[in-house]
């Protein structure tokens, strides 16, 4: 069986994790701080905070901005549950927007229609690693009329005085938009280092701070460090230094710090990310695209345009003119050929919890049209040349079997 997305764990990873384990310091400490610095340098920003998941990072950012009851947060209907669940955790209301026709990202015009005086945040998601249309999103929130609708309720909201752009960049570490890396494209961006993501720490995430000039990003970084550790003014590593035992609790904070064991994996991943991991991922994407562009039924996902370069996270193939049932049959036929594929994602309005809150799939026809025809193919570092050919053949024959059973 060709798996969908196993992590790349080799001698180097094991060696660095072992060093961390034997160093006498396994929770947040020097390795996490080093990882934060290197991530910031990679994204060309000054401040990155590592946390234990992207979900925690997104929630921390929403809470920092004071999002709560009565507020609305606009996000795509087409995303993983984490993006919307964290909004619910804060007591606010997720407002879904439909997708672009050509890619899987949020449609700026759909966002415009969803904005109300209660809108506090927009959370674009770089689906599959392909950056959203950030210029048009920024132009939208800076329009005078949209800005005038914004009704700040906290000091932080008053300081920004417009809708916050919090990008869910769970898929897009290493991607770029108009020559700038994700992490530096919006006010705050959050990466995921979950096991299946491009760069992993087993579980983990990072918050990238790129707030406008009225904010002191360094001060926000310190504030978020405290928020991510029970509102405690010193982390365990600083407390351990000579005479450093005193601390205060300034708020009932959360517990979502990254450990040095996680950071040890991340540092290895980052050190070979551009010249090794991304090169391989792009190669696999290109091989798939070459092979499927020969087929009239295939719709190749966009991943490189004049303005955007994807992180090549998920290869989201679509099959033209098929139903959801036919797509499901094709997936079954691919599995029968010992290849694991996936669907990214089942849109949130199809989920029973979100249905129980009154969201309906019919209201997001583009998201449904994408979802019902989508199949995500295996992309990972250890996928061999033979595996790539096997995946391509499996998909081609599966489509033939389902769509032309008599051939
Ligand atoms: C994986 C993922 C997340 C959550 O990441 P975690 O690190 O697992 O919390 C959020 N959004 C999207 C789109 C994801 O795919």
pLDDT in tens, 349-392: 999 999 999 999 999 999 999 999 999 999 999 999 999 999 99
Task: State the distance from the centre of ligand 1 to the C-alpha of 55, rounded, in angstroms.
Answer: 6
Number of neighbours of residue 143 by Cβ within 10 angstroms: 13
Same domain, 232 and 291: no
Does a structural domain hold residue 2? no
Query: What rounded mean pLDDT belongs to the chain?
Result: 97
Q: Cite the DSSP H helix spans in 272-351.
A: 278-292, 324-336
Check whether residue 42 and residue 133 sit in a common domain.
Answer: yes
Q: Quick one: 143 and 210 in the same domain?
A: yes
Report CA(141)–ligand 1 centroid distance (Å).
25
pLDDT at res. 319: 98
Q: What is the pLDDT of residues 117-154, one digit of tens each?
A: 999 999 999 999 999 999 999 999 999 999 999 999 99
Together in a domain, 223 and 197 = yes
Nearest in space to 72 (alpha carbons), one of 91, 59, 89: 91
| Cα–Cα distance, 298 to 296 (Å, whole number) | 6
The order of strands in the sheet holding 176-177 is 180-181, 176-177, 308-309
Share of the chain residues as helix, strand and coil, in percent rounded to the nearest 5:
45, 15, 40
**263 and 298 co-located in one domain:** no
Task: Show which of 247, 270, 293 is a domain's final residue.
Answer: 270
One domain for residues 261 and 292: no
The last residue of one of the domains, among 219, 239, 270, is 270
Domain membership of residue 1 (yes or no) is no
Output the CA 241–ligand 1 centroid distance in Å. 35
169-185 residue pLDDT tens = 999 999 999 999 999 99
Do 200 and 301 lie in one domain? The reply is no
Q: Which is the closest atom of ligand 1 to the Cα of 127? A: 13
Protein residues whose CB sits closer than 6 Å to any atom of ligand 1: 53-55, 79-80, 82-83, 125, 168, 170-171, 192, 194, 205
Instruction: Look at residue 3 and tell me if it is in a domain.
Output: no
CA nearest to 190, candidates 81, 43, 326, 70: 43
Q: What CATH number is attached to the domain comprising 386?
A: 3.90.1150.10
How many structural domains compose the chain? 2
Same domain for 297 and 217 = no
pTM over 0.85: yes
Residue 167 in domain: yes
Instruction: Specify the residue with its C-alpha closest to ligand 1, atom 2.
Output: 170
25 located within any domain: yes
Q: Is 186 part of any domain? A: yes
Q: What is the CATH number of the domain that holds 168?
A: 3.40.640.10
Other beta carbons within 10 angstroms of residue 287's beta carbon come to: 17
Tell me the best of 73, 75, 168 to mutate to test the pocket of ligand 1, counting ligand atoms within 8 Å of each CB and taking the most: 168
CB neighbourhood size of 373 (10 A): 20
Which helix (H) or strand (E) segment holds residue 93: the answer is strand 93-97
Both 239 and 263 in one domain: the answer is yes
CA–centroid distance, 82 to ligand 1, in Å, is: 6
- Residue 256 included in any domain: yes
Q: Are residues 284 and 242 in the same domain?
A: no
Distance CA(365)–CA(7), nearest Å, equals 34
Question: How many angstroms separate the most distant Cα atoms in the chain?
Answer: 79
Cis omega (within 30 of 0) for bond into 150:
no
Residue 240 pLDDT > 90, yes or no?
Answer: no
Could you say which of 235, 270, 305 is where a domain stops?
Answer: 270
Q: Does residue 81 sit in the same domain as residue 95?
A: yes
Look at residue 152 and tell me if it is in a domain.
yes
Cα gap 336→89, rounded to integer Å: 40
Q: Which domain holds residue 384?
A: 273-403
Q: What is the per-residue pLDDT for 407?
A: 67
CA–centroid distance, 280 to ligand 1, in Å, is: 22
Of the pLDDT bands very low, low, confident and very high (cuts 50, 70, 90), residue 188 is: very high
| Domain co-membership, 201 together with 103 | yes
């Amino acid at each position: 069986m060709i798996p969908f997305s196993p992590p790349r764990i080799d001698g180097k990873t094991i060696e660095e994790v072992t060093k961390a384990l034997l160093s006498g310091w396994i929770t947040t400490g020097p390795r996490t701080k080093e990882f934060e610095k290197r991530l910031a340098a990679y994204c060309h920003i000054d401040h990155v905070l590592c946390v234990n998941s992207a979900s925690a990072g997104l929630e921390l950012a929403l809470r920092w901005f004071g999002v709560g009851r009565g507020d609305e947060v606009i996000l795509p209907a087409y995303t993983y549950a984490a993006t919307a669940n964290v909004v619910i955790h804060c007591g606010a209301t997720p407002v879904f927007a439909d997708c672009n026709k050509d890619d899987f990202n949020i449609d700026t015009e759909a966002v415009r229609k969803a904005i109300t005086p209660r809108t506090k945040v927009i959370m674009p998601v770089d689906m599959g690693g392909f950056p959203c249309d950030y210029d048009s999103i920024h132009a939208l929130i800076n329009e005078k009329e949209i800005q005038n609708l914004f009704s700040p309720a906290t000091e932080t909201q008053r300081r920004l005085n417009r809708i916050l752009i919090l990008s869910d960049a769970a898929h897009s570490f290493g991607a770029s938009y108009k020559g700038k890396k994700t992490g530096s494209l919006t006010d705050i961006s959050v990466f995921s280092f979950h096991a299946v993501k491009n760069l992993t720490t087993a579980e983990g995430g990072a918050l990238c701070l790129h707030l406008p000039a009225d904010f002191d990003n360094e001060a926000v970084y310190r504030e978020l460090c405290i928020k991510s550790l029970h509102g405690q003014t010193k982390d365990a590593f600083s407390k351990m230094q000579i005479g450093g035992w005193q601390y205060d609790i300034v708020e009932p904070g959360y517990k979502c710090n990254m450990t040095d064991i996680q950071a040890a994996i991340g540092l290895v991943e980052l050190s070979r990310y551009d010249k090794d991991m991304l090169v391989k991922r792009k190669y696999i994407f290109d091989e798939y695209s070459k092979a499927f562009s020969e087929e009239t039924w295939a719709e190749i996902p966009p991943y490189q345009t004049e303005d955007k370069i994807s992180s090549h996270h998920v290869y989201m193939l679509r099959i033209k003119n098929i139903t959801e049932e036919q797509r499901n049959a094709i997936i079954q036929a691919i599995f029968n050929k010992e290849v694991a594929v996936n669907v990214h994602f089942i849109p949130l309005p199809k989920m029973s919890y979100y249905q129980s809150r009154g969201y309906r799939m019919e209201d997001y026809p583009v998201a449904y049209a994408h979802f019902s025809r989508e199949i995500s193919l295996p992309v990972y570092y250890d996928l061999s040349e033979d595996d790539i050919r096997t995946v391509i053949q499996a998909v081609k024959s599966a489509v033939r079997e389902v769509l032309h059973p008599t051939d």
